[in-house]
Copies of this chain bind each other. A is one copy, B any other.
Amino acid sequence: MADQDPFPPHRLFEFVELTAAERQAIDRLHGPVVRVPKGQQLRRAGEPVVEIFFLIEGWAISSLDLAGGERQIVKVHLPGDLLGTPSMVLETAAETLTAITPIKVSRVSLTAFGQLFHDAPRLSIAMFMSAQQERIMLMDRVASLGRSSAVQRVASFVLHVYDRLRVWNPEQGPKLYLPLTQENIGDVTGLTAVHVNRILRQMNDDGLLVHDRQCLTLLDIPKLRTVGALPERRWCQWPEWLDRKNIEG
């Protein structure tokens, strides 16, 4: 690797301005960097949970498999995400982790992760906040899947991705790289690939978006928000109810 700092900003930075010591504590988490080819699984549902993964580069997904063989993608991961954390509370993993582009990850042992709570208490807060954020995003997905049409689901999903990209890249324009096949989008939105195709065409005709190859262009974001029917979430950075005590790291 040519670059000296190959790690993208960790999601924890979103809530806490980290000190140098805390950044070091996080860096100590990382095991060796592993390259994983597109399509390969990092971990299968049902396997024991011995480690989690930090996504350095590329896109990955967390998915659940139903007994009937159907697949539901529960999260699309971007660089900076921790993969596999929800299953830490389970005896065997709930989600399958799959690379959908070639990716680079670092393995994080659970013991190293657990030590973080000891080494950097303030990071515990950040991890707690990050988990709550994930809950909000899942709640939005639940609402979208349970109570909206195919067009609405696709609209709210692409906005979800767009909003996540903008958190770390304020320059992010309406044109974005989205390495998901139509089948992937179906697995996210609970639709079949065939119907996703029709919906994308329809949204194209309506001037909402264009999805060509792996390039997605949001043509009319305000209209997409209206269609998606979910409010844009405004995350609070460092709530004052945590600040008062000025908890030490």
Chain A residues within CB distance 8 Å of chain B: 15, 46, 62, 64, 66-68, 70-72, 74-75, 85-92, 94-95, 109-111, 113-115, 117-118, 121, 124-125, 127-129, 131-136, 138-143, 145-148, 187-190, 226, 229-231, 233-236, 239, 241-242, 244-245, 247
Contacts and interface: CB of A to CB of B under 8 A. Distances in A.
A207 B59 CA distance: 45
Nearest to A145: B145
Kindly list the 3 A-B residue pairs having the minimum CB-CB distance in the complex, ordered from nearest.
Answer: A146-B190, A131-B131, A110-B241
A245 B119 CA distance: 10
A59 B133 CA distance: 24
A135 B136 contact: no
A188 B148 CA distance: 13
Given A88-B129, A117-B245, 9 more contacts: A66-B229, A72-B143, A72-B147, A89-B129, A89-B239, A90-B236, A92-B234, A110-B239, A141-B142
Contact of A94 (B118, B139, B148, B229): B139
Contacts of A113: 241
Contacts of A146: 72, 145, 187-190
B64 A143 contact: yes
A235 B90 contact: yes
Contact of A132 (B66, B88, B234): B88
Contacts of A15: 89
Given A114-B245, A142-B141, A147-B72, A128 B136 contact: no
B86 A132 contact: yes
B147 A94 contact: no
17 contacts: A15-B89, A68-B229, A86-B132, A86-B135, A86-B136, A89-B133, A89-B235, A92-B234, A94-B140, A111-B241, A114-B244, A117-B128, A118-B245, A131-B131, A131-B135, A135-B135, A138-B138
A245 B120 CA distance: 13
Nearest to A236: B91
A124 B15 CA distance: 16
B247 A94 contact: no
A155 to B, nearest CB: 11
A113 B132 CA distance: 14
A43 to B, nearest CB: 15
Contact of A139 (B70, B138, B143, B147): B138
